[in-house]
Every structure is written in structure tokens, then in C-alpha cells.
Amino acid sequence: MPKHNNITLKDIAQAVGVSRTLVSVCLSGRYKAGGYRISEATAQKVRDYAASVGYVANTGASLLRRSGQPPVGLLLSQNYGEAKHIGAINTALNILEQENREALLIGFRSLVTAIKRLKGAGVRDFIIFGTLSEVPSLPGDQKLIKELKPLLQGMRGFAIDYNFGLPGEQHELDIYRFGINRSLLMKELFDTYRRIGKDGFMSMDWYPVNHLLEAGYFSSREFIQPYNLDSKSSDTDWRNIGKKLAERFLAMRSQHPVKLIFAGDFIAGGLIAELRKNKVRIPEDVEVVGFDNLPHGEWFQVPLTSFGSPILEHTLLALDDILEKNPAPRTLLVPPQISWRSSTQLPPEEILRLEKALNVINHKDI
């Protein structure tokens, strides 16, 4: 199997034992049109080998010839959480334009498919705007790692919102990783509320929280009600999802007193609106903490306390490396950012204790 970065049709032909022309015909699918005496088994053998070495046809050669440099890929996850990346993407586009570099922006649900498109366009460097993890025990992660490994040959990917701190985490992919320790964040947050006697928790179905649940972190008298957000669902109205989370809270409130609800910022907005509609006082009756630290959380009916990752700063680090201005570290684990707002009422000494434990970058106090 060729080990160099740029796999060619000739390499595949030599490995499989056929002609370069036959490889081209098989990979393009033209053999199905007739006129070729190529069996499906032979075509499949060629396709399988090409996939195993990460070969993707280079459709971006003309773009490379025009600009003299390959485009920079910007990949935006469309599963959830897109909003927190929009500002950083706009900044990246402006910087690349100033540097006379082409950008190829792709929204994705399948990271593998998106990277194949980038590779086909001749992209070498790309930034992933979306959470990425490498935990073999997580559904989908093992398959993702296996498919990405050959594709990443000859490419440099920057994961600017990497999911550090998960049990079993293995850094198998040849990428740059910038992010925060989400598992530590959740543990310290729940520890803080336990310390002040608020130990009824409710959360989105989110792996750092689920990990604590599976590890026996919660006592028998505590209760966590995960709300499962199906990434394949057609329901992308975050406020409506927040409303459903509020309805679940209201239905179980008398049997399982919940003092803290944790959800993504957009979902928290719908949650807060529905709770207020049902005369639930925030933070007196229940406190709400968000994740993403979006600026508009300040304008919710009750301004939202929220944690997040420094997306813009990580984007600038990646661009400096891509544009050959300053080399970026291969791995960067940083403290979370936080905006303290009116949806929580932790005592000042507990806020200081939590910030010290996390070495928090504090953006705003209200």
C-alpha cells in the first residue's frame, strides 16, 4: 500500500494489478454505461482499495492553478450548535480574503463526506467548526476514526472545539486539537451545587453528563432526567425543544425536585420562556445553566449563565498556522469561558471556588 500523501490512479492500478484507465473507469462509474468488459467484482475491488488509502479524485485542480495555492476548508457542523461558530467563520472568511486565499465553506452532517469533498477540491488545510471526539466506546466514534484515518493523509485538520476529558479518549487522528475539558466542567459544576444543598439535577442527554451518571457519580437520592436530542430529527426549532424540556420538568417536579437544569443556550432560551409562562421563578425555584456562551443569552427573559469554549481565539490560532505566520500547538487544552448572569444565584464564594477549580476565563458578571 502506498504510504506517501498523494495517492494517484497509477498507485491504485499497480496495487490492484490493473491498468490506470480501468481504475479511472471504475471510480467514475462509467463502466456501468456499457462498452466496457469490467465485472462488478473488479470494480468493487478497485473502489475498496481506493477507499482504504483515502483516494479522492482531485476536482479542484483548476482552482489551484488560478490562485497558486489550494483553498482553505471551513467545515460547519449542522447537527447542532452552529450559531456559536458563525462569528468565527465570518472572521476566518475576512482574513482569508485579505490574504488572497480561497475559502471553501461546507455545511455538514457527515464529517467523512465533507472531508472527501475538500480532498476532491485539492484542500490541504481545513478547520472543523463543530465538536469532535475520539472515544471508541461512543456510538459512531470508532467508525468515524476508521474512515477518517486514510482520508486525512496529506491534509491538516484543526478541531477548534475538541471534546477533551471523555473516558477512554484516544488521540488516533492526525489533527490539531483545541478545546476545553467538558467532563471536568460538569463535575465541578455539580459539585458546587451539591455543596450548597442543591442536588436535584436535570440535563440534556450529553455525554459528559451521561459519563458521570454511568460512573455512579450521582447518589440514590439525586435524580437526573436526560432529554434525548436526536441529531437525525427534523425538529431544529431549538425553542420548541426547550419547551419540551420545560414540560418534562413540570411533569416530574412534584416527585423529583430539580434545582438545576443544564442545556445548550438556544434550548435554554425556549426552556426559560416556557418556565416563566408557567409561573416558575428563575433562579428562585430552579436555576438554569447554558452551554455555548452565546452573546444573545444576555437578552433572554432571564439572562442566561453560560459556559463555552473560546472558539474565535482557537480559529485565529489555526489561521495563523495555515497562513504560515505562527505555528500552532498540536494540542491545546484551555479553561472554559463563562458569563455569570441572572439565571443562577450561586454565593460569591462558591463562584470563586468554581472558577479556581476550572481556572475560568470570566467574560461577564451581572
Distance CA 168, CA 166 (A): 6
Q: How much is the pTM?
A: 0.77
User: Which 3-state string (H, E, C) describes 258-276?
Assistant: CCEEEEEHHHHHHHHHHHH
Q: Does the pLDDT at position 366 exceed 70? A: no
Distance CA 159, CA 133 (A): 9
Whether residue 344 contacts residue 192, with contact meaning beta carbons closer than 8 Å, is answered with no
DSSP H helices in 130-178: 141-151
Whether residue 340 contacts residue 362, with contact meaning beta carbons closer than 8 Å, is answered with yes
Q: Does the pLDDT at position 229 exceed 60? A: no
Distance CA 317, CA 71 (A): 18
The number of C-alpha atoms within 13 Å of 252 and in the hemisphere containing its C-beta is: 17
Identify which has the larger pLDDT, 44 or 21.
Answer: 44
The reported pLDDT for the residue numbered 223 is 67
How does pLDDT run across 294-339, given as a tens digit for each residue? 888 999 999 999 999 999 999 999 999 999 999 999 999 999 999 9
- Cell numbers 438554569 correspond to 288
Average pLDDT, integer, range 60-81:
72
Q: In sequence order, which residues have a C-beta less than 8 Å from that of residue 336 and are 6 or more positions away? A: 180, 185, 307, 308, 309, 358, 360, 361
Q: Does the pLDDT at position 234 exceed 50? A: no
